[in-house]
Amino acid sequence: MKIPLDELPTPALLIDLAKLERNLADMAGLAAAAGVALRPHFKASKCVEVARRQLGHGATGFTCATMGEVEALLEAGIEDLVWAHQPVGPAKVRFAVRTGVTVSLDSVAAAEPLAAAARAAGVRQPYLLEVDTGMGRAGVAPADAVRTAAQLERLGGLSLRGVLTHEGHLMTYLGDPGGREKAGRRVGETMAGVAADLRAAGHDCAVVSVGSTPGAASAPFVPGVTEARPGTYVFYDGNQVALGTAEESRCALTVLTRVVSVPRGEDLAIVDAGLKAMSSDASVRGSGFGAVLGVPGVAFGKANEEHGYLTGAGGLRVGSLVSVLPNHGCGVVNMWSGAYVVEDGFAVERWPITGRH
């Protein structure tokens, strides 16, 4: 395959191969400098071809968000996986026990059915205790980790491997790199402290796992942390640019779209990329569906299912090609079944995207 970009059907999801490879190499170097294992989050790419390249750059395994992602990697022969999700409900419990994948737990209520199924199967289900280090989503409070681990141990059928957290709250440090750095180090210190408390109470805690792209240069560098789980770094996106963790030139994922109508004068242009191409993930800077590249002053502020509305689009005409940088690459990837790989201005391959809901 060697297709000029202006001959691709639009909208089209594009991956710049050179930028991707640089991003993978740089994060691998960062993890090596921190002395931690690199376990990227597969949800960022949902692409086995990307995963294989991450393994080639030293990744030890992957983090998954969904059953579909776990299945996609297992089918590809990639087995060292953490399912960073509470397997609640009969289908998820059966899946966890059948695959033996390491899961995350944060309560007895979530663990009891899983423990019962593991005991019935004669196995011990590996898990990581999830800790809330500031995001306010799932996870035990650090002070409750030892008590919760003891409760889970009494259930039987479970095997504690360590602790993990997602420091997603670092995305709130917009325009404050120093604050983000300090917050990331606090996350690492908290997790190292929780691990030490668990070991002192007699629990195994080999894995101390932190995970985010904004925290990749801080949390993993704290002594005691053993693993980093960044995801967005493979492509980066508009939100990472706004946050200051990447330059726009590092962003490997774009949506190529074409103007299909200029209905009411030159200020408004309608493109063929809408909600189903861009997702509805918001920008950390406010509203909009992505940044229009190379056309100053144009805003992508509204979208229907298959149409996007560009304002300030005086230079665009019907048939004009437009490149859009997504706000959040992970959400956009999940909208597509495949992405074109771009090298030297040509689409040279189309990689499948798997593990979608």
- With contact defined as beta carbons under 8 Å apart, do 131 and 194 qualify? yes
321 bridge partner residues = 258
pLDDT at 77: 98
Q: Which amino acid, residue 353?
A: I
Look at domain 3-13+246-352 and name its CATH class: mainly beta
* Alpha-carbon gap, residue 208 to 103, rounded angstroms: 14
Full-model pTM: 0.96
User: Domain residues of the chain, as ranges?
Assistant: 3-13+246-352, 19-233
* Alpha-carbon gap, residue 273 to 356, rounded angstroms: 20
**For the purposes of burial, counting CB atoms within 10 Å of the CB of 91, is it exposed (0-12), middle (13-18) or buried (19 or more)?**
exposed
In the block, which residue shows the tokens 């560009």? 310
- Rounded to the nearest 5°, which phi and psi values hold at 63? -100, 140
pLDDT at 313: 86
Which ranges of 5-141 would DSSP assign to H, the alpha helix?
A: 17-34, 48-56, 67-75, 90-99, 108-121
- Domains 3-13+246-352 and 19-233 are alike in CATH topology: no
Residue whose C-alpha is closest to residue 277's, from 296, 262, 265, 260:
260
- Rounded to the nearest 5°, which phi and psi values hold at 49? -60, -40
* Alpha-carbon gap, residue 160 to 103, rounded angstroms: 10
Count the helix, strand and coil residues of the chain and give each as a percent rounded to the nearest 5: 35, 25, 40
pLDDT at 108: 98
Which ranges of the chain would DSSP assign to H, the alpha helix?
A: 17-34, 48-56, 67-75, 90-99, 108-121, 145-155, 177-200, 238-243, 275-278, 329-333
pLDDT at 303: 96
Give every residue of the chain whose pLDDT is below 50, as ranges. none
Look at domain 19-233 and name its CATH class: alpha beta
pLDDT at 285: 82
* Alpha-carbon gap, residue 273 to 293, rounded angstroms: 14
Q: Would the CA dihedral through 147, 151, 153, 157 be positive or negative? A: negative
pLDDT at 245: 95
pLDDT at 44: 98
| 292-322 residue pLDDT tens | 999 999 999 999 999 999 999 888 999 999 9
